[in-house]
Amino acid sequence: MSFSVSDTVSNAQADLEKLVSDLRGLLSSKDLDAVPDIHVLRQRLDDGISSARDSAVRAAQDAARQAKEAAIAADRYAHDEPWRVAGAALAVGALVGFLLARR
């Protein structure tokens, strides 16, 4: 089973949206209306949640962009230096084989 970066971003956004929904549900409780200054508290928390959501979305988008750029760079290197990549793969394979043979 393979997950892409966009799947991970979507899952993180869904989790964040659920958290936001739960917090808003808690804040809308009529039991809290008896607490002085609850309106100000609700507004501050709502602003903080919005800010956190925006930051999380930006961070996820940046991570996805960086992962894509790294994949493109690795692909370009593999096409530009196929023998080096093959040599490195051979060396890693030999090392893994040697380690497994010692067991």
Summarised one tens digit per residue, pLDDT across range 64-76 is 899 999 999 989 9
**How far, in Å, CA of 73 to CA of 75, rounded?**
5
- Give domain limits for the chain: 5-102
As a whole number, mean pLDDT of residues 50-72 equals 88
Angle between helix 38-80 and helix 82-102 axes, rounded to 10 deg = 100
Start-to-end CA span in the chain (Å): 29
User: What pTM did the predictor assign?
Assistant: 0.52
- Tell me the pLDDT band of 28, cut-offs 50, 70 and 90: confident
